[in-house]
Amino acid sequence: MSSFKLFEIAGSGMSAESTRLNAVASNLANANTVAGRPEDVYRARAVIFEEVRSQLARDEGSAVRVSQVVQSDKAPLTRYEPGNPLANAEGYVFVPDISAVEQMVDMISASRAYKNNVEVMNTTRDLMLATLRLGQ
């Protein structure tokens, strides 16, 4: 496998994990938002990855890309807040069903995957430089 292909694979992983981190940040930022109607509640987003194989060389590994960003189909939760201006006639507001713990776990996983791809790029660079120094 070409060393340059490693940069492409690791770079695609970094890009995909960055999208995943953005989705987690959006979910955490909107976890406590309220709405007056269930239809208006923020829906958590999840990022779906897919493998990207090179057509030329099937044995050289594969990159990754974001296939789609999907919204959660969890029903919103209700919270009794009669003083809230968005409350319905019964005094309830609707909030997204987002678990901060699950989002934090997803964030840690995406962060570690991103760091691993950075480490692959750094190691590849160091090995390429070491190879160039052999000729000196």
The continuous run of DSSP H or E covering 46 comes out as strand 45-53
> For position 62, what pLDDT does the model report?
85
Domain boundaries, the chain: 3-134
> For position 136, what pLDDT does the model report?
75
Over its length of 136 residues, how does the chain's per-residue pLDDT go in tens digits? 566 788 899 999 999 999 999 999 999 999 999 999 999 999 999 999 999 887 655 666 789 999 999 999 999 999 999 999 999 999 999 999 999 999 999 999 999 999 999 999 999 999 989 988 887 7
> For position 52, what pLDDT does the model report?
87
Q: Which of 3, 4, 13, 47 minimizes the C-alpha distance to 27?
A: 47
Taking residue 96's Cβ as centre, other Cβ atoms within 10 Å add up to: 20
